Structure 1
């Protein structure tokens, strides 16, 4: 007996009883919603008579993606099946997803988009780098390995041993291997532990990329504290909040830190410290 996926489409087109109950369910509902809003004509297919489901049929999308109808159906049904980045990319193309929709699809699937440009090979937006000079407070831009790409005079004055003079511009190497950092940062161990946890969370999508792996390995070799914090497997969202310093020239300083991520380049960060 042949199973009709068209009929299955009709049966599953109603609202889910439990919205986004699992990540797999959320992924399936997202894909189904976009399939149902895409007309056959939009992908070069004839409309056909008496279509019983809105938009494309599941087997039509499966054919466009080069995957089996059964596998595609299971994805939409929210079953715990494996979806590779390549298969997701083909689904994104078949469903004609926008840039934002495609990014959301890969986030739902916890996969990295293979079409995502390599930030290491891409120039940071010039306007972002220029922005730090317009801020009347310490401000700097970090890349995905947390190397400073740009900073203003206020930041150079505050971060002695990192953004002033000829130093390594990596925030993690400054924090864990530069003696001046331990004197500058109030409650260094708490902040350093938190920084390590934030980097683990921030780097998860490119943890095995060569530059990130090299940075982590070099820090483990150079700093017993980093090695200990990294081995703890702590993960923390990068947060703003109060930052205190014992500056060698200006004495005790306190700031409120704010971090911004530019659109289309979320691997970069604009960090601003507002004096309290």
Structure 2
């Protein structure tokens, strides 16, 4: 007789505490247990066997059913809207950092947070570009260059010099000079599209992003083909080589930074390779 522990073809499911839903439930429960009834205006009451608030009390404060609240604490795969999560954050008196962490665990955008696209880029970030001795530039969420230094303008002919469209994807896929400048253009271009797909997932249906994708799909067969491949990749550093019309072959190592609280922006630096 074969016992379950000796069967090799059966794949055991991951432990419950390994799931995002379980992590969300654990986080909510921990903060419920550390919040006293008096802190929310409730009497302590006799025979309180659990620390902090009861689940039923939090559910009442949030205006949700006790069953639904219990399920979310238990890590069950229930749907949690941004509005419901916001009410839980208020009921549990979460700090700003704790509230942000709650929404990250739930993979939801906090409705109380302003849309990053509607905010100006931090002045200090833009000023930093001028202080960097290597080619450097700042991209917004659609990968338009917001600021760049003279070294970047000198390197990226046809993009950051003169009067050109400042979108990186538009440059790569519609400007012949990009194919001349970037070594192994097709590999880099394919990778760039995979990185943009991953980077834009949260605002893929926003009008500016949609217009950019649709426009490039019509203007460039290569972009349309790469986008249709559904490849997804993280924006990586590493070696970047260029065949510059004035300086010959140049090799850099790319480093990308995301400012705290503004992950829709990127500071890209190209450090010369020795």
2:21 equivalent in structure 1: 24
For 2:30, the equivalent position in structure 1 comes to 33
Corresponding position of 1:180: 177
TM-score if structure 1 supplies the norm length? 0.91
Residue 52 of structure 1: CA displacement?
1.1
Aligned length: 260
1:144 deviation in Å? 0.7
Q: Which runs of 5+ in 1 are unaligned?
A: 1-16
> 165, 169, 176: which one pairs with 1:168?
165
Q: Once the 2 structures are TM-superposed, how far is the Cα of residue 48 of structure 1 from its aligned partner? A: 2.4
Counterpart CA distance in 1 for 2:209 and 2:91 is 33
1:19 CA drift (Å)? 6.9
- Summarize deviations over 1:189-242 as a string: whole Å, max 9, x none: 111111101111111111111111111111111111111111111110111111
Please, what TM-score do these two structures have when normalized by structure 2? 0.91
Please point out which of 67, 75, 79 is paired with 1:78: 75
C-alpha contact (below 8 Å) 2:16/2:75 kept by paired residues: no
Partner of 1:254: helix, strand, or coil?
A: strand
Q: Who is 2:234 aligned against?
A: 237
Deviations for 1:226-275, whole angstroms, at most 9, x for unmatched residues?
Answer: 11111111110111111111111111011111111111111111111100
**1:40-59 equivalences in 2 (<5 Å):** 40-59=37-56
After TM superposition, where is structure 1 displaced by more than 4 Å over at least 4 residues in a row? none
Task: Give the match for residue 11 of structure 2.
Answer: none
How big is the shift at 1:131? 0.3
1:255 is aligned to 2:252: yes
SS of the residue corresponding to residue 100 of structure 2 reads helix
Q: Distance in 2 between matches of 1:194 and 1:20?
A: 34
C-alpha RMSD over aligned residues: 1.4
The residue number in structure 1 matching 2:116 is 119
Secondary structure of the corresponding residue to residue 245 of structure 1: strand
Shift of 1:51: 1.6
Residue in 2 that maps onto 1:14? none
